[in-house]
Amino acid sequence: MRWNFSKTPLAAPLGDSIKKALFGGAALGLALTLSMQPAIAGNGYAYAYAYGNDDFETVTPYNRVARLPVVKDAYGQVDHVATYAKVKAAALALARYVALNHDATILGDSVIKGDDWVLGGTSLPCRKTQTCTDDEISHAIIEIPSPEPIDPNDPTYLSTGVVTSANTKKASVLDFCNEHYAKQALGVSPIVADKKVVNGYSHTPALPCEVSIWNDDKHIYVDMLDPNAIFSLFFTDVLFSADMQDPAFADAITDLPPQVKLEIQAVVLHAMNEFDSKTKTVDKQLGPKYKSMDEVVNVVANSPFMSPYKHVGYTKADGTAFTATDSTAVTQAIINTMSIHGQSGAGTHPTVIDGDGNTLDSILSPGSSWRSARSTPLTLPGSNHVIEACSPKYAKMAMSTGLHHVTALPCEITVQIIDQDSNGSKETLVVSYLDPHFMLNALFADISEADKIAFASIPGNIMDDLQKIVAAALDINAGIVLNPGVQVSYDMLP
């Protein structure tokens, strides 16, 4: 895998004929290599990646895991307020289970192959000792606002059509983390023998695993980001790497997403059945369908950077290396500059950006009201720091297309320090973004054509906002003098 540094965006998206040629060459090369090897065992994904479309299993970004009944009144009508309260109680029950239990003891080591699943957003003592307080657990749940009312019969809503803040329906989102699988996905631990995912940190914005709970008038739903689809869409550089010519690596790496999915499903179903014995098991694909590797290649190739990510590298003006303390300080500076949800002033940005006294808010998109979902970052293996950025304005727009999209939110920014020149010194700090253009085209491809037209400018606004927030944080709040950022890219396609 080669590094590219450039101060301008990557080349324009590939044409269809070039994309097909690239994909066909990679598939043919891998097929010829693997045709001389023993058959690859496992779930079939290794065959799909090696041989092309013939054995590709259709994947979707979202998967419905469970369905719970809504609450009804004495007349058999939906009690909207009580149902919404049940959604929140179910989310807390699931969060408590993840935070407080040893999975292998309860579910068995035939199901749980890795480490315990832990609840993202909780403290290290909480995760290590499983002695979290209910207050800490509840604060780890992210609530994403929608344009829908909790109670459509609310008098204010009926008379004005306005959804007040008190009557705004929100979906609960939980971050599921597993050290064993995260280390493998991020290149911290080997997949097999001495082979690791190359440039593993670059995939950090695609983690952790997210689970949502929300309701409509029919049911309460528990959905998840489907690990099979996430691996297909966000790890194409791994799928087309030379390491896939090794049957042991190909088998192990492609067995990882289904195992992750199986474990999360098992955790969710156990917790929800304990919460409500009327929980129904569901295994339903949701969202846009990807039926071939051609389709996966197309959506990656047609994104602005031919990647799900945008990476920007910074070096110190004095030429010295970054420390772990520097990385943590930069991450926290971005969070503080963005403002923190739940704290006074969340969504306003008084940071002065120039000598004329202009504030950050004067250059952000109107009404965006950006804030960090958490007061501190999620830190994944390899000291990869994750910031979950939220804008109520853009969240409501996204949720207007269907609440099943909620696990694609919030917007993630990650910070990591790396040794780019392999001299043993981590001289480059990389800030990475999930590219909103890719997210719209890949994870929201099932929305209406009218919505696609209406939302066409939104990804650019979001990316512009996030980069301006990061720039303000690095210029003013980080306490480190940096050289201008330089775009860093990895080859995500052959």
Q: Among 29-38, 199-208, 387-396, where is mean pLDDT lowest?
A: 29-38
Q: Among 33-42, 45-54, 406-415, 433-442, where is mean pLDDT lowest?
A: 33-42
Residue found under tokens 């309260």: 85
The pLDDT of 32-48, averaged and rounded, is 37
pLDDT tens digits, one per residue of 164-191: 999 999 999 999 999 999 999 999 999 9
Whole-number pLDDT of residue 326: 96
Is 267:100 a contact under the CB 8 Å cutoff? no
Whole-number pLDDT of residue 54: 57
The pLDDT of 18-23, averaged and rounded, is 33
Q: Is the pLDDT of residue 150 over 80?
A: yes
Q: Is the pLDDT of residue 391 over 80?
A: yes
Q: Is the pLDDT of residue 31 over 50?
A: no
The CA-based dihedral angle spanning residues 312, 60, 86, 370, taken in that order and rounded to the nearest 10 degrees: 20
Residue 358: pLDDT band (50, 70, 90) is: very high
DSSP bridge partners of 228:
none
Residue 452: pLDDT band (50, 70, 90) is: very high
Is 377:356 a contact under the CB 8 Å cutoff? no
pLDDT tens digits, one per residue of 281-300: 999 999 999 999 999 999 99
| Closest of 191, 183, 237 to residue 207, by C-alpha | 183
Whole-number pLDDT of residue 284: 97
Mean pLDDT of the chain: 89
Q: Is the pLDDT of residue 240 over 90?
A: yes
Residue 267: pLDDT band (50, 70, 90) is: very high
Q: Is the pLDDT of residue 6 over 50?
A: no
Is 456:450 a contact under the CB 8 Å cutoff? no
Residue 52: pLDDT band (50, 70, 90) is: low
Output 476 or 342, whichever has higher pLDDT.
342
Look up the pTM and report it: 0.89
Is 145:392 a contact under the CB 8 Å cutoff? yes
Q: Is the pLDDT of residue 24 over 60?
A: no
